């Protein structure tokens, strides 16, 4: 039987934050960042999870932290479980649960915006374009179709809603939140990371349609935090099936979302239990993205 890790409790470690997917603990002045197997769809955490999903998310993030470290410093300190235990021996008792799904990271003060980059027109960006021919106040050419590639990747930040859906905000609204200097910094870093990652992913048969980064303040520095370019924070499309003018099959939660759409569920918590078939297919998808991007298996 495969084990699904829905919640992580570690005696002796103080919980720092419980997100939709991650359970974060204090470890001295650092954080132990653990990805559970929880899955959320339409911002609702489902009652059952996807075995190994947390491991896949963590391993993909680690790959991208390494890949982007010449562009910007990030919060990753250690990901090898023995190395983590070397920093904090209390963690040693939980090696089995934590292995591959954990990172020891620098504690930072997250900036209050989600740094979204879009290279293609999809999801809420596509909806906003249809209404206004712009996204976050950025004018776009007329006549673009769903899933079209944008002339240039654009930075379309959104608020970090504590509960519910994030809302996209304009450049001026973002500057009100973080100031113009930080706006310039995170927008250019986000686009630079996106371009480099998209080039690489393309060589592996994947289009990164859009993605979301988070940055945090650590002393006087701004570093890349959270998860990076995972199927949870990005839209990945198979390159060989790409065709503008329609929605694309996405690599990850598609089965989950399609299944939920087929039910008479109002998308309000609690969500329905996912049947085994959906769980297994979704798991296969997560594993295949891991190996496509990193060349590795769990």
Ligand X SMILES: Nc1ncnc2c1ncn2[C@@H]1O[C@H](COP(=O)(O)OP(=O)(O)O)[C@@H](O)[C@H]1O
CB of 172 to ligand X, least distance (A): 23
Q: Which is nearer to ligand X, 19 or 205 (CB)?
A: 19
Minimum distance between the CB of residue 19 and ligand X, rounded to whole angstroms? 2
Where does residue 123 rank: exposed (0-12), middle (13-18), buried (19+ CB within 10 A)? middle
Minimum distance from residue 12 beta carbon to ligand X (Å)? 20
- Identify which of residues 20 and 145 has a Cβ nearer to ligand X in the complex: 20
* Least Å from the CB of residue 57 to ligand X: 9
- Cα angle vertex 207, ends 201, 212, to 5°? 90
If the CB atoms of residues 90 and 107 are measured against ligand X, the closer one turns out to be 107
* Distance of closest approach, residue 134 Cβ to ligand X, in angstroms: 27
271's CB contacts (< 8 A; 6+ apart) are 41, 44, 45, 46, 47, 260, 265
- With respect to ligand X, which residue has the nearer C-beta, 158 or 248? 158
Positions in the binding site for ligand X (CB under 6 A): 17, 19-22, 24, 31, 75, 105-108, 110, 214, 216, 225-226
**If you write DSSP's letter for every residue of 201-250 in order, what string do you get?**
HHHTTEEEEEEEEEEEEETTEEEEES--S-TTTEEEEEGGG--TTSPPPP
Nearer to ligand X, 33 or 126 (CB): 33
- Residue 90 tokens read as 């209390």
User: What is residue 86's three-state secondary structure?
Assistant: helix
């Amino acid at each position: 039987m495969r084990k699904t890790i829905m919640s992580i409790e570690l005696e002796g470690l103080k919980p720092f934050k419980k997100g939709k997917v991650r359970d974060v603990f204090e470890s001295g002045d650092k954080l132990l960042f653990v990805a559970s197997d929880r899955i959320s769809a339409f911002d609702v955490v489902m009652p059952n999870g996807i075995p190994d999903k947390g491991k896949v998310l963590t391993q993909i993030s680690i790959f991208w932290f390494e890949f982007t470290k010449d562009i910007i410093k990030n919060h990753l300190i250690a990901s090898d479980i023995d190395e983590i235990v070397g920093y904090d021996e209390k963690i040693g008792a939980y090696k089995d649960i934590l292995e591959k799904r954990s990172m020891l990271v620098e504690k930072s003060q997250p900036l209050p915006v989600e740094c979204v980059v879009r290279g293609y027109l999809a999801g809420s960006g596509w909806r906003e374009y249809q209404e206004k021919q712009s996204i976050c106040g950025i004018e776009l050419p007329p006549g673009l179709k769903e899933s079209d590639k944008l002339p240039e990747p654009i930075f379309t930040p959104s608020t970090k809603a504590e509960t519910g859906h994030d809302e996209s905000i304009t450049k001026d609204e973002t500057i009100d939140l973080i100031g113009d200097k930080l706006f310039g910094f995170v927008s250019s870093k986000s686009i630079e990371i996106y371009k480099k990652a998209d080039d690489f992913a393309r060589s592996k048969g994947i289009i990164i349609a859009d993605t979301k980064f988070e940055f945090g303040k650590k002393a006087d520095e701004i570093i890349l935090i959270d998860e990076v370019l995972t199927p949870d924070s990005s839209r990945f499309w198979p390159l060989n099936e790409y065709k503008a003018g329609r929605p694309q099959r996405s690599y990850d939660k598609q089965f989950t979302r399609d299944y939920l759409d087929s039910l008479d569920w109002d998308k309000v918590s609690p969500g329905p239990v996912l049947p085994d078939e959906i769980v297994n297919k979704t798991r296969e998808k997560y594993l295949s993205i891991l190996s496509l991007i990193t060349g590795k298996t769990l």
